[in-house]
Amino acid sequence: MVIKIESENNTISSFSSVENINVQVDDRIELVKLIDGAAINDGWNGVKENDGDIISLNTTFAPDDFAVLKSIWANRKTCKVTLGDEVIENCHVIIKSYSYLDKFESYKNVSLEIWRV
């Protein structure tokens, strides 16, 4: 299964299948984290089922898609994520880490978090 991320006029998909999916259930009303010194505050008025969940995963992105992903993350854009049959509206994508592939250095192995907001 691949991951598809849609934000404003951009749609990207992972190059490889998603691995190591982990869901951290979070039923708090508000989530606040520090990322690179910036406080990210995801609060909402009405709590719905699965709001606040954090989904962690690993996958590989092609160079152009990775550049778009970095822009989405750096600008803290809200996006829509499709993971298999599941569509997650209004979420933030956080790049936790990335590494280069041995034979294809322009492709990136990426560790992501998807925050449901």
Q: Which residues contact 27 (CB under 8 A, 6 or more apart)?
A: 47, 52
Q: Which residues contact 50 (CB under 8 A, 6 or more apart)?
A: 116
Question: pLDDT per residue over 97-109, tens digit each?
Answer: 999 988 888 999 9
User: pLDDT: is 112 or 42 the higher one?
Assistant: 112
Distance CA 90, CA 66 (A): 20
For residue 40, what pLDDT is reported? 66
Q: Which residues contact 39 (CB under 8 A, 6 or more apart)?
A: 32, 33
- Model confidence band, residue 42 (pLDDT cutoffs 50, 70, 90): low
Question: pLDDT per residue over 66-98, tens digit each?
Answer: 999 999 999 888 999 998 888 988 899 999 999
- Model confidence band, residue 26 (pLDDT cutoffs 50, 70, 90): low
pLDDT, average across residues 39-54: 60
Tokens of 66: 């990775």
Q: Which residues contact 99 (CB under 8 A, 6 or more apart)?
A: 108, 109
Can you give the residue range of the structural domain that contains 28? 3-116
For residue 41, what pLDDT is reported? 62
Structural domains counted in the chain: 1
